[in-house]
Each structure stands twice: as C-alpha cells, then as structure tokens.
C-alpha cells in the first residue's frame, strides 16, 4: 500500500472510534453494554490492528531473498529517497506500529476477560480507555507517516484537541490536589473545616465544562467521595474525628492518583518538548538572561500539574529569575528523557480507592 492509502486507513480507524458514543452506556442496563458496546469496540480494535499490520508490512526492514541471497528493497522505499534518514524514519514508523498493534491486542484480550463479572462503570471505563489508546496510536502513526512522506496530517487537529482536553483536566486535578495537600495534613480540630473545602472543590470540578471529558472511573470516584463528604461534614462537631481523618487520607490518595493523567502520551510529548525548549533557551545560550520572556512564562504555565516544585513557581505571582527554574527543568529533562529506559505505563488506576 502507498503512504496515502495508509493515511486514509488510519483516518477511517479514528473516525470509526470517535463515532462510538461510549458515555450514553454509562446509565444503561447491562444488556446494551454487552450486546452493543463491547462488540463495537472489539471490531474497532480489530480494524485498527489490521491497519497497523499493513503499516508494518509497508515500512518493514529489507528482506533477504532465500534463493539468491539478494536483499530486496522494502515496500516503503518507493515512498521516498533511499537514504539513511529515510530508512531510519521508516524503521521508526514500523516500530511505532508494532508497539501500537501489540497494545491493542492486549486491550482486545482484556475486554474479553471476565467482562460479565466487572462492574458496569468499570467495563465502560475499559471500553473508553481502549478507544482512547486506539485513537492516540493512530494519530501518532499518521503524523509520523506524514512527516516521513511530506504529506499533510489530517489528524493533527484532533491531536491538538486531545492535548487541550488533557491539559485542562490536568490543571483541574492539580488545583484539586493543591486544595487537599496545600496546607499540610489536618488535625482532629480542623479536619471538618478542611473537608468542607474539599467538598466545595469537588462541586466546582463537577460543574466545570471539562467534567464530561474525565474518565468514567474518575467521575465515579469523585461522586462517591462527594457522598462520603456530605455524610461526614453533616454530622455534629462531636462526630468521629478519626473517621474524618481516615476520609481525608483517602481523599489525599485519590488526589495524587488522579494525576496519573501525566502518563498520557500527548502530555508527555508536550511537556518534554516545552521543557527542552525552555532549558535550551534559558541555560544553553551565550549567557543566562536576566528574566524569562513573557511568552515563555505563559507557556510554562501549561506544565501545571507535572511537578510540585514547578507548580509552586507557577502559582507564585510576579516575574521569576531564570535560576529558579534551572533545577526543576533539569530534573524534568532527566525524568522525561527519551533515552531513559522506562516502561510506558498506562494511566494510574484508581479502582482500588
């Protein structure tokens, strides 16, 4: 298949996935969930797996002829010039597609395991997660093919939309975490007052425009937490302070787990690119500037939620010295380095909360 054909196949995969309205199954009985949603998601995953297989076949390494011993050009060679950079780009596309195909295989198998024993919201969340991984993988491969072949990416706008949603959600989760841990742990005397502030923060989050974009599991746990808070703060002041402190610990744990959103691929890519650019601009030029350019300060605010020290710098009003940013940026560069051998973990689960 040619590059344009592969691009069109990837676009169709994403369009089909985006057309699955998962949230309308959240409040429905189990029948439609098992009879409609699950088969639809599995079919979408199978279509994506087949498409990634086609990409791998088109961008695979040269194959040696068993009879003559000659090395034939890989199918992708016709798409561009036969140079080292072209072959390196092709290998990267094949590698990305191989990983994506393996991940979607895992998603499809997981959806078939004990699906009838799972809670409905948990199954809906699994379907949503599978669709998201499918979409993100197809966007990444389509972008890579377009960069390799000089094509215009059709899915880039969708990528930017997904990135914007993820940045908004992370910002909301970071604000929630700061409400919880910002003043340190409570004591038996002020714990109810602190819990009321948390209840207000959750109410604000559930009424925000971004709330519908949260994962099903996150919304379920926030609503459960809201009910527990209403029960706890509604009792008399002589109520069980130890129970209130245990609730606070659960809230604190959840506030940290929600920031597992940082593991989303689009956020890692965005943060890594921005941190690298900022560090290079501030500390790898002829001399360290006296101040940070206003445009860069605004962009650095999008890192809110990635790192506690960076969050502190963002929250502080007024201009900052570049030296204040050197240590946290160096740490982030090290932690997000593409050369660092780290496992690409999925988002942190909060199902144990």
pLDDT digits (tens, 9 = 90+) for 290-300: 888 889 989 99
Q: Which of 168, 274, 281, 283 is nearest to 214 (CA)?
A: 168
Residue 138 has a pLDDT of 95
Q: Does the pLDDT at position 147 exceed 60? A: yes
CB contact at 8 A, 353 and 257: yes
Question: Collapsing DSSP states into helix, strand and coil, what is residue 8?
Answer: helix
CB contact at 8 A, 47 and 13: yes
40-49, 103-112, 284-293: range with lowest mean pLDDT: 284-293
Residue 35 has a pLDDT of 85
| Distance, CA of 137 to CA of 102 (rounded, Å) | 11
Question: Collapsing DSSP states into helix, strand and coil, what is residue 63?
Answer: strand
Q: What is the pLDDT of residues 119-145, one digit of tens each?
A: 778 888 889 889 999 999 999 999 999
Q: Does the pLDDT at position 311 exceed 60? A: yes
User: Token digits for 282?
Assistant: 């501030």
Q: What is the pLDDT of residues 65-95, one digit of tens each?
A: 444 444 344 444 444 445 566 778 899 999 9
Percentage of the chain lying above the pLDDT 70 cut:
83
DSSP states along 308-330: HHHHHHHHS-S---HHHHHHHHH
pLDDT tier for residue 235 given thresholds of 50, 70 and 90:
low
Q: Does the pLDDT at position 104 exceed 60? A: yes
Q: Which residues pair with 64 in a beta bridge?
A: 71
Higher pLDDT, 342 or 275: 275
Residue 238 has a pLDDT of 57
Residue 352 has a pLDDT of 35
Q: What is the mean pLDDT of the chain?
A: 84
pLDDT tier for residue 5 given thresholds of 50, 70 and 90:
very high
Q: Which of 219, 157, 209 is nearest to 22 (CA)?
A: 219
pLDDT tier for residue 7 given thresholds of 50, 70 and 90:
very high
User: Token digits for 200?
Assistant: 């207000």
Residue 84 has a pLDDT of 61
Average pLDDT over residues 239-258: 88
Residues 6+ apart with CB under 8 A from 215: 125, 128, 129, 347
For the entire predicted model, the pTM comes to: 0.78
| Distance, CA of 277 to CA of 256 (rounded, Å) | 27
CB contact at 8 A, 174 and 304: yes
| Distance, CA of 40 to CA of 5 (rounded, Å) | 24
Percentage of the chain lying above the pLDDT 90 cut:
50
């Amino acid at each position: 298949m040619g590059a344009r054909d592969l691009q069109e196949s990837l676009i169709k995969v994403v369009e089909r996935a985006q057309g699955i309205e998962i949230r309308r199954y959240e409040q429905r009985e189990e029948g439609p969930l098992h009879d409609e949603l699950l088969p639809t998601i599995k079919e979408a995953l199978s279509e994506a797996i087949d498409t990634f297989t086609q990409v791998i076949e088109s961008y695979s390494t040269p194959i040696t002829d068993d009879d003559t011993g000659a090395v034939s050009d890989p199918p992708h060679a016709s798409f561009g010039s036969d140079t080292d950079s072209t072959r390196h780009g092709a290998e990267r596309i094949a590698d990305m597609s191989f990983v994506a195909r393996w991940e979607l295989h895992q998603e499809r198998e997981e959806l078939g395991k004990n699906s009838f024993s799972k809670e409905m919201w948990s199954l809906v969340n699994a379907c949503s997660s599978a669709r998201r991984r499918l979409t993100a993988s197809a966007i990444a491969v389509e972008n890579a093919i377009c960069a390799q072949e000089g094509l215009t990416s059709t899915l880039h706008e969708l990528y930017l939309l997904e990135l914007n949603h993820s940045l908004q959600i992370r910002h909301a989760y970071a604000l929630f975490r700061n409400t919880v841990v910002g003043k340190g742990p409570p004591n038996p005397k002020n714990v109810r007052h602190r819990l009321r502030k948390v209840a207000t923060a959750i109410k604000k989050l559930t009424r925000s425009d971004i709330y519908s974009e949260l994962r099903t599991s996150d919304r379920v746990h926030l609503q459960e937490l809201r009910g527990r808070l209403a029960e706890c703060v509604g009792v008399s002041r002589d109520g069980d302070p130890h129970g209130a402190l245990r609730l606070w610990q659960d809230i604190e744990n959840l506030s940290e787990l929600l920031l597992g959103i940082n593991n989303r691929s689009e956020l890692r890519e965005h943060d890594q690119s921005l941190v690298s650019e900022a560090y290079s601009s501030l500390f790898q030029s002829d001399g360290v500037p006296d101040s940070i350019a206003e445009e860069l300060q605004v962009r650095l605010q999008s890192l809110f939620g990635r790192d506690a020290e960076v969050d502190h710098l963002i929250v502080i009003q007024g201009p900052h010295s570049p030296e204040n940013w050197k240590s946290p940026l160096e740490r982030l560069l090290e932690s997000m380095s593409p050369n660092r051998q780290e496992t690409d973990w999925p988002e942190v689960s909060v199902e144990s909360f």
